[in-house]
Every structure is written in structure tokens, then in C-alpha cells.
A and B are shown apart, each in its own frame.
Chain A
Amino acid sequence: GARGLVPQIGRSSLSQDVLHAFELRLLSMFGLKHRPSPSRSAVVPQYMMDLYSMHSVNAEQNNSNRPKGSLGKGSERSASRANTIRSFHHDESTEDLSSSSGKTTQRFLFNLTSIPGEEFVTSAELRIFREQVVSSPSNGSLAGFHRINVHEIIRPSGSLQEPITRLLDTRLVQHSLSKWESFDVSPAVTRWTADGRPNHGFVVEIVHPDQDSKRHVRVSRSLHDREDTWPQMRPLLVTYSHDGKGNVLHSREKR
């Protein structure tokens, strides 16, 4: 692969070993041990594309396709202290979805071991998509509203005991809207990465008024109708970090 970067003059005299060493040197410059080889099914979340458009110093000028309002002030503020943004999907094999008496809870575990030790996480957000639910009007004052609570699991549940959790963020949302919600989970991610505390994941709790609106918040594949759109609609953990080298990401400027 590195062959293309080596100038024509002197190229023939370079051995494969030299080319390989050259590529390794380049990859190491990018902070990688070896060349990634992603599969065709690898998914690039739209949010990361939007962040790239917003913060890239080299992005194309024409980004009219960017969905307006998808990036809040929060992500801008977070990126202003970071030079690296990483996205994570949860491990679906460890999820634990339960639903009873107007409440749906989902446990998420995100494997964050790929964050290098020298990288300091400045903030993190958990993004959850909720899709509009059309339901008959109800008389209750909180009809059409959901409350979403995001907890960090401090100690997982044992055989006879409930898990010990702490509330990280909460929001009252209207189920007549399709929208991504961003929850600040920075304290938990900092505890796991910087303080080395065990990562037991999050519990997302959705309090909904009726069974019809149960599917509103898409915290699990089983609550999403279309398999093909799930990769772009599934929950996403986004971490903002700095490796101590170079400048922070900033909003794109005209050069």
C-alpha cells in the first residue's frame, strides 16, 4: 500500500520490507499498530459524518446535505476541548431489556477498552433515537410525554439484590416528535477510563404512559421495526478526548 506514496525515483530499489516499514511508520504516526481492514458491513454513524463536516478543517465547502439541528451546542462545546471523537455501539449480546407497568428498562454495555491510556476523556454523550408515535389523545396532563432516565451501574445485580445505580441525566420528552436525544454521561465514562473503575454499563429507564408508546424510544433492536435502518438508529456512545498532542477540533473556518 505504501508503494503509491514512494516517489517514482528510487522506487524500484526499495524492498518489500522497506515499504512495509514505511507503512508501519505512517500508521504509527496515526496512532495505529497495524492497518485497519474493516468489513463491508462496517457502519459509519451519520452523527460522526456530521461532526466531521462541522469540525473538519479540510471538509468540502459544500455540505448542504447536512441535517440541520442534528448537532447541538453541547457537542460543539465538548469538541472544543478535544482532538479526538470516538463512537461506540453497545454489545447487543449483553443487553437486558425489560418492560413492566409503564416502564421499560434497558441495560447497555459499551466496550471502551480501545481508548488508549494516554487519552484523557473530557466528555461523553449517550445518544438515543426516539421515533414519533401517533396515538389517540388522552386526558392525562402528562399524556404524550415520556421520561427518560440514564443511570450508571455502580454494582451489577446479584442473585437476590437489585443493581446499585446512580442517575446521570434525565429528560422529559414528547412522543409526537422524531428526534435524537443526547444525555451527558461524562462522569461515568471518566470514572471508567481515567479512574480505572469497572465498567458495568448504563441502565436507560423509559417511563411511558401506555403500551402504544412503548416503542417510541429505540433502545433495542426488538423495538425497531426495520432491520435495515437499525444500524443508523441504534444508541450511540460518543466520547470526546485529548491525547495531549496538537490542537483541539474546532468549527470549520474559511481558509
Chain B
Amino acid sequence: PPHTPIRAAMNSIQQLRFDLNSAQDQPSDVLCGYFKNCTVDPSEEIAKRVDQLGQVFSCRFAQAVGQGCVGLGKQRFCLGVRLYYRVMEAMLKSEEKRLSDKNFSKLLNSSAFHTSLLACALEVIMATYVGSTFKNGDFGSSAFDGTSVETDLCFPWILDVFQLPAFDFYKVIESFIKAEPSLSRDMIKHLERCEHLIMEHLAWRGDSPMFELLQQSHEEGPVEQAEPPAT
């Protein structure tokens, strides 16, 4: 059959569901092992954060798409959580190998890290669904002019939902791509576009934490000699 945009989107969704079918909604035993190895066990905080962000996400999803779609928002969030735990485990395995250390207490107790990682997982889910359900005309005429409701739920929508600085989201993108080999070429391109948007625009907003870091860096002075301008 011809490879239409709708068919491509349906194939991506099918693949995503297949990939995450065997993944768990809860941290695996391996992940729990990493939590237990921490100086401060983050298990409880992680579970609480996932629960809170789930409520916020479902509420905002229903506001944007329609109150009848609360269940759909919960389904999307559930897929995002599966991906979040899976990528977290892969990242920690890779860090253990790189650093020869099993105690990631600082990282695993960072709220910015978890919120960014979950936001990135959800962005992958939401971007996969763009061009599917709501483009079939069920949700009004906008479906026919290319301005699907779901397009509005793509990046940077998730930053607003989680009140997450773009600068923090940026930090997880590269490690996320490295840790999740099943990402399609289109999805990697999408995440790259998110990176560019942050670099060129979102990270330079007045409330960005980047300015404070630049200030700190300026006060501490250069750590090493700057490279020549040509480089």
C-alpha cells in the first residue's frame, strides 16, 4: 500500500506500543537496585513525583483535547512512564560502566533530572501520536487544514505542563538518544529540532537558569585557557 503520512504515523504508533509492551509501569529490579545503592534512597520521591506529574499531565491533556479524553491522556502518560524507567535504567548502566560506580545518589535525587527525563519520554510519545487520531476528522475541521489539536501538544508544550526550564530538558536529550536505540530516524530528527529551538530561543528567556550559571562561571573565572577563536 502507498506510504501515506497517516500510514507512517500508524506504523510508528504500532512500533512504539510493541516496543513498550514488555516494559514495566514500575521500576525494574535492576533499577530498584540502583535506588537502594544510593546514600539517600530516592524510591519514594520518584514514585510520588510520577504520581503528581501524572495528574498534572492528564489534567492539561484533557483541557487541550477535551474532557472526554482524560483516559487517553492517562494512556499516553503510562506509555511515557514505561519509556522513562527503561531509559533511566539504560542510562545508569552506561554511567556505571563509564564511572565504575554504583552510587548515583546525587543524580537520582535530582528533581530536575527526573522531570526532564520523564518530559523527554513523554515528548517522544506525543510526537509519535501527531498525525494520527486527531487527523481523521473526529475533532473538528482543524483536522483537515494541518493544524491538528495534537500538534499543539508537541514541544514545547510539555515544558509548560511540568514548569520545566528548557535548559534542563536540553541536558537529557543526547543521553536519551544514546540510551534508547529503538528511536526512529524521524524521532531523532524531532529531538534535534527541540535541541535547536532551545539553543536558539528557549534557553535565552529571562527566567532561564542559564543566566545564573553564566554569572557563576564569570565570577569563578575561566577554569582553563580559552581556545583560539578559529577553533
* A and B: bona fide binding partners: no
Contact residues of A with B, CB < 8 Å? none
Contact residues of B with A, CB < 8 Å? none
